Structure 1
Amino acid sequence: PDADTVREVCLCIPGAGRTGMFFTSEPGSREAADELGSLIDHVCRSLEGIILAQCLLAEHETRALQAFKRGGFTSIGQLSYLRRPMPRRAADVPGDTALPDGVTCDTWRSGDDGDLMEALQRSYEGTLDCPELCGLRPIEDVLESHRATGEFDGRTWWILRERGRPVGAMLFNAMKTQGAMELVYMGTAPEIRGRGIGSRLLARGLKAIAGRAEASVTCAVDHRNEPARRLYARYGFVPTAERTACIRALPGA
């Protein structure tokens, strides 16, 4: 083939928290997938300042998945993308919001990042939601990524505490271009799981954002996380898409 002919394309878009999202052309054959995989690997080795490379592939992109694996990526499973209508009124959201004695839920305030990062770290213990991501980045980078998703507003971020200790978080950001509020993250520490607190936390969040101008509320969940999928279904979330998530850790230097 002509050395000047473009056969495969790989694009990495740097993101907050030292991440990079990869997009590629669709290889037309197994041989093209191998060639694209070599290109992906070359791009990864050439990057600076990125420590986590990511891609999200649709079900039909089987050759692209082959290419990313050839390029050093690991598949961490299926992500289910969920959506429900924005509640018109708080009263439209079912479920109890009362928390057990000693458990509080407060909106984020300036100076709360330390508690929030502790809450995030605690919520990763025994998580069923993409556990392969745990420990791949400093928690400061993770928080930066959450804050940079859509439009950050501390009034729609909550920290859960039990007797003053951070034990969970729920973070909503506005996605203006999509006309949606995204539940960027929700998780709790092991010691408060199994007590119905996650359901009450989600009810609180949906009631708090009810009546906003955005048309819908969205989130993504690991398909393996059955408890979370059941919880979201109870609150009216329905699947809209599936993607295969793949990652590759990079040195970042």
Structure 2
Amino acid sequence: MNSLDVTSHHSIGQVPIVPSGGPIQTDVALPAERAATLALLFQQHSTKSRAALFRWAGELFHENPAVFDGLFRTSVNGQVSGAIWAQPGPGNQATVWLPEFLRGVTDQESLAKGLVEILDIWLRGRLRGLSFLSAKCLNAVGLRAFLELGYWHLADMSRMAVRIDETSLVPEDCLEGECRGLGIRLTPYQSKDRTLLINLSEAISKESLDCPALSGIRDYGNVVDSQLHRQGCTPSHWRIVWIDYEPIGAVLVSTHNSLPHAELVFLGIVPAARGRGIGRQLIRHAKHLAATAKVQSLSLNCDNDNFPAISTYQRAGFQSVGRSAVFVKQYE
């Protein structure tokens, strides 16, 4: 099978109840099983969203056929009945879709444990040191399975998004004037700015309400490099924020070559520059950058406990569109 055949799964309305009993097998999803396995992982979404997710998965496969190497399934009597998926990214990071099961599957606790165990073995060969897993499609069974295997639940994240249209595009002279009024200027990121951005990211993390448990232990070089080397993404809409000749913040909007969406992967300012309205201006600038990239929406992840940031994003038009959880584990 040379492509992802999902035509028979786009219109799934009711996921069938699995037959009871029979032999249980947990292994990597074979090419012929991938569509059914993905259908399980996407089953909580609307029909329209499932179709979009299948298109997205197909685009990922087209860019990198190895993207399904971390797609595992549990089968009962030869029928795909449970699923889990991990997508390692650059650096010590991975995105994980937590276990999902067909309706009627019994003993989901032990089946989820089996799926997480085989995934953990697979990840051990790909991640090193302190590693971060962003878990999608949260459910209690999957969360417990990860905790039982020694993963540390670091934070719950709120996924937020805002629609981007012509009103998001602000005349350059207007933006520059607004920035001058706050005493700041923004410059495009260049490759020579890597070390500057690493040091700036570490400084911004101090006194931050976003995943404060990571302060002092996270490798910010790894963080920056993981964003720079994300497959299909470009840093052409990244900006460094300055007051006079001192870097005080960053706004990083990443776009993907084949997707009509952008992601605000980082926005922050150092503690000494907070409380002046700079953050609100940077959000406005981020929406403008997304508009220049001609995308339809801009999304971000924010720590659920960072109430000031969530409130600021909401006032800027962002709405909650989902949840995720961040797990941490030390791999040898």
Structure 1 unmatched runs, 5+:
none
Residue 50 of structure 1: how far off its partner (Å): 5.8
Secondary structure in 2 matching 1:118? helix
> Matched residues in 1 for 2:127 and 2:263: separation?
30
Q: 2:95 aligns with which of 21, 27, 37?
A: 21
Which residue matches 2:234?
Answer: 152
Q: Is the contact made by 2:92 and 2:127 (CA closer than 8 Å) also made in structure 1?
A: no
1:18-57 mapped onto 2 (5 Å cutoff): 18-23=92-97, 25-26=99-100, 28-36=107-115, 38-39=117-118, 41-43=120-122, 45-47=124-126, 49=128, 51-57=130-136
When normalised by structure 1's length, the TM-score is 0.82
When residues 5 and 131 of structure 1 are mapped into structure 2, their CA distance, relative to the original with a 3 A threshold, is: same
Residue 91 of structure 1: how far off its partner (Å): 4.1
| Structure 1 residues 135-159: Cα deviation after superposition (integer angstroms, max 9, x where no partner) | 44422211111223452133x1111
AA matched with 1:5 = Q
Which residue matches 2:271?
Answer: 190
> Matched residues in 1 for 2:185 and 2:274: separation?
15
When normalised by structure 2's length, the TM-score is 0.64
Q: 2:305 aligns with which of 218, 224, 232?
A: 224
> Matched residues in 1 for 2:191 and 2:117: separation?
45
Higher relative helix content: 2
Residue 3 of structure 1: how far off its partner (Å): 9.5
Residue 250 of structure 1: how far off its partner (Å): 2.1
AA matched with 2:239 = W
Residue 37 of structure 1: how far off its partner (Å): 5.1
* Structure 1, 15-24 or 183-192: larger mean CA deviation: 15-24
2:160 pairs with 1:82? yes
1:129-168 mapped onto 2 (5 Å cutoff): 129-149=210-230, 150-154=232-236, 156-168=237-249
Secondary structure in 2 matching 1:249? strand
Secondary structure in 1 matching 2:324? strand
> How many residues in Structure 1 have an aligned counterpart in Structure 2?
248
Q: Is the contact made by 1:86 and 1:211 (CA closer than 8 Å) also made in structure 2?
A: no
Q: 2:198 aligns with which of 81, 101, 117?
A: 117
Select the structure with the greater relative contact order (CA < 8 A; seq sep ≥ 6).
1
When residues 236 and 66 of structure 1 are mapped into structure 2, their CA distance, relative to the original with a 3 A threshold, is: same
Backbone CA RMSD of aligned residues: 3.1
Q: Is the contact made by 2:253 and 2:289 (CA closer than 8 Å) also made in structure 1?
A: no
Structure 2 unmatched runs, 5+:
1-20, 27-73, 75-81, 102-106
Which protein shows a greater Rg?
A: 2
AA matched with 1:73 = Y
